[in-house]
Amino acid sequence: MKTIDDLERELGGLSGKRVLVRADLNVPLSGSTITDDGRIRASVPTVERLAAAGARVVVCAHLGRPKGEPDPRYSVRPAYERLAELLPGRTVSFAEDVTGPSAQRTVAALGDGDVAVLENLRFDARETSKDAAERGALADELAALADAYVSDGFGVVHREQASVYDVAQRLPHAAGGLVVAEVESFAKVLEDPARPYAVVLGGSKVSDKLAVIDNLLGKVDRLLVGGGMCFTFLKAQGHDVGDSLLEEDQVDTVRGLIARAERDGVRLVLPVDVVVSTEISDDAATRVVPADAIPAGQKGLDIGPASVALFREQLADARTVVWNGPMGVFEKRPFAEGTRGVAQAIADVDGFSVVGGGDSAAAVRALGLDESAFGHVSTGGGASLELLEGKVLPGLAVLEQ
């Protein structure tokens, strides 16, 4: 796929050109306060690269899940304000609509090196429409605001949406620096990984990760499973899991995966102890019990210290590591240490590590870990998962055209 350097050559320079950037500004909010600005910070290098070349940068993005119409709770204004703070010295303006009069005026007023941010794309129902003609109509309006298009919102490249897929077919286009870095990082772990190759999976539901496991079992040397999904594995091995999260309808499927891992020579590593409680709160009473002896009435809510030590041992000599999903309910203090310990073990690996976006990336930041200690921290939860599943992502495929 073409890069911004390629686009610059194609256009004979970027100065004075209006460049529409599909960014990912979908950050968590508490009221109007951003609680994790990781995705905004990740978007800055591409915006600054274009602005420094004299482009007139038009940033479009979504936030949350409005119902296809304006809703002040989901305005991207807080993200715009944070982006403006991260671009000192730049004139950064805000349009009150997506492609309407405010957007048109705001873009027309841009000077070379200026930046504009459009209102939430999902305030327009056409953005996510299943009807290609409806999406195309919005893509036409977005394309009219620009001379070129840069895809830099990795978190949405698995979506066939107007600003991700259709507009790229209407303008000279390129991948932004963030998308290039994401694609290159996942290629390292999917195409020719250095070995030993370990994958660490967590999160609540095994059903969310079945396709990932199915695709990776033939590629990895070790599969380490924690989080709520581990209890379905433990149940498949014949252990009682108390009141822990369990997908009963997946037990037989998981039993088959366990057998396949053994047949293919993949070392499957499950927790040997877990932190249990009857409640999920910051002051919950907890105790550590063996993973095969969870008492009735108790919920497993984190992996225990012996499991962290085991996972660290299995990761110590790894040359490639992919991590997707926390080891427990890390948002609550009594259940954060499993995720912290495993994350630190991954950070300490000498080889190349990828943190697969979503809750994993959020955990890295929430627990105060050094992002630079990892090879790559992805900005895309769903997009990361679909790449790990081996799928072709429409927002990437269209950039090859």
Residue 396 belongs to a domain: no
90 has binding-site annotation: no
Residue 342 belongs to a domain: yes
Q: For residue 274, give the H/E element and its range.
A: strand 273-277
In this structure, are 158 and 213 located in the same domain?
no
Residue 378 belongs to a domain: yes
In this structure, are 173 and 265 located in the same domain?
no
- The number of domains in the chain is 2
Residue 394 belongs to a domain: no
In this structure, are 84 and 199 located in the same domain?
no
Whether 382 sits among the annotated catalytic residues: the reply is: yes
Whether the bond between 196 and the residue before it is cis, its omega within 30 degrees of 0, is: yes
Using CA atoms, how far residue 86 sits from 11, 214, 273, 364, in Å, is 27, 41, 43, 21
Whether 130 sits among the annotated catalytic residues: the reply is: no
Residue 246 belongs to a domain: yes
Q: What are phi and psi of 207, to 5 degrees?
A: -65, -30
Q: What are phi and psi of 376, to 5 degrees?
A: -160, 130
Q: Which of 39, 126, 299, 340 is catalytic?
A: 39
Answer whether 344's CB lies under 8 Å from 369's CB.
Answer: yes
62 has binding-site annotation: yes
Residue 395 belongs to a domain: no
Whether 205 sits among the annotated catalytic residues: the reply is: yes
The four Cα atoms 238, 203, 154, 215 give a dihedral, to 10 degrees, of: -10
Chosen domain end from 136, 154, 178: 178
List Cβ neighbours of 293 (8 Å cut-off, separation of 6 or more).
Answer: 239, 240
- Model pLDDT, residue 169: 98
Chosen domain end from 178, 199, 220: 178
Chain segment 278-335, per-residue pLDDT in tens: 999 999 999 999 999 999 999 999 999 999 999 999 999 999 999 999 999 999 999 9
If one counts every other C-beta atom within 10 angstroms of the C-beta of residue 47, the result is: 27
- Model pLDDT, residue 359: 84
93 has binding-site annotation: no
39 has binding-site annotation: yes
CA proximity to 55, closest of 176, 170, 153, 140: 176
Residue 399 belongs to a domain: no
209 has binding-site annotation: yes
25 has binding-site annotation: yes
Q: Which two tokens stand for residue 251?
A: 């037990």
Q: For residue 132, give the H/E element and its range.
A: helix 132-143
CATH no. for residue 364?
3.40.50.1260
Chain segment 115-138, per-residue pLDDT in tens: 999 999 999 999 999 999 999 999
Per-residue pLDDT tens, the chain, 401 aa: give them.
999 999 999 999 999 999 999 999 999 999 999 999 999 999 999 999 999 999 999 999 999 999 999 999 999 999 999 999 999 999 999 999 999 999 999 999 999 999 999 999 999 999 999 999 999 999 999 999 999 999 999 999 999 999 999 999 999 999 999 999 999 999 999 998 999 999 999 999 999 999 999 999 989 999 999 999 999 999 999 999 999 999 999 999 999 999 999 999 999 999 999 999 999 999 999 999 999 999 999 999 999 999 999 999 999 999 999 999 999 999 999 999 999 999 999 999 999 999 986 788 889 988 999 999 999 999 988 899 999 999 999 999 999 98
Q: Which of 205, 260, 267, 365 is catalytic?
A: 205
> How high does pLDDT run on average in the chain?
96
- Model pLDDT, residue 401: 86
357 has binding-site annotation: yes
In this structure, are 260 and 169 located in the same domain?
no
Using CA atoms, how far residue 393 sits from 168, 251, 279, 359, 400, in Å, is 14, 30, 39, 21, 11
In this structure, are 71 and 142 located in the same domain?
yes
Rounded distance between C-alpha atoms, residue 295 and residue 251, angstroms: 20
Q: In a 3-state reduction of DSSP, which class is residue 309? A: helix
Residue 340 belongs to a domain: yes
Q: 177-190 and 38-52 are packed helices; what angle lies between their axes, rounded to 10 degrees?
A: 120
List Cβ neighbours of 204 (8 Å cut-off, separation of 6 or more).
Answer: 227, 228, 229, 245
Chosen domain end from 151, 178, 205: 178
Q: Which of 54, 68, 100, 382 is catalytic?
A: 382
22 has binding-site annotation: no
223 has binding-site annotation: no
In this structure, are 129 and 235 located in the same domain?
no
Q: 381-388 and 358-366 are packed helices; what angle lies between their axes, rounded to 10 degrees?
A: 130
24 has binding-site annotation: yes
In this structure, are 89 and 191 located in the same domain?
no
Q: What is the DSSP string of 43-106?
A: HHHHHHHHHHTT-EEEEE---S---SS--GGG-SHHHHHHHHHTSTTS-EEE-SSSSSHHHHHH
In this structure, are 305 and 172 located in the same domain?
no
In this structure, are 125 and 43 located in the same domain?
yes
Domain with 323 in it: 185-389
Q: Which of 358, 375, 380, 381 is catalytic?
A: 358
Whether 226 sits among the annotated catalytic residues: the reply is: no
Sheet with 148-151, edge to edge strand ranges: 92-94, 115-117, 56-60, 18-22, 148-151, 173-175
- Model pLDDT, residue 381: 84
In this structure, are 241 and 305 located in the same domain?
yes
If one counts every other C-beta atom within 10 angstroms of the C-beta of residue 42, the result is: 25
In this structure, are 162 and 250 located in the same domain?
no
In this structure, are 116 and 228 located in the same domain?
no
65 has binding-site annotation: yes
Parallel, antiparallel, or unpaired: how do β-strands 376-377 and 352-355 relate?
parallel
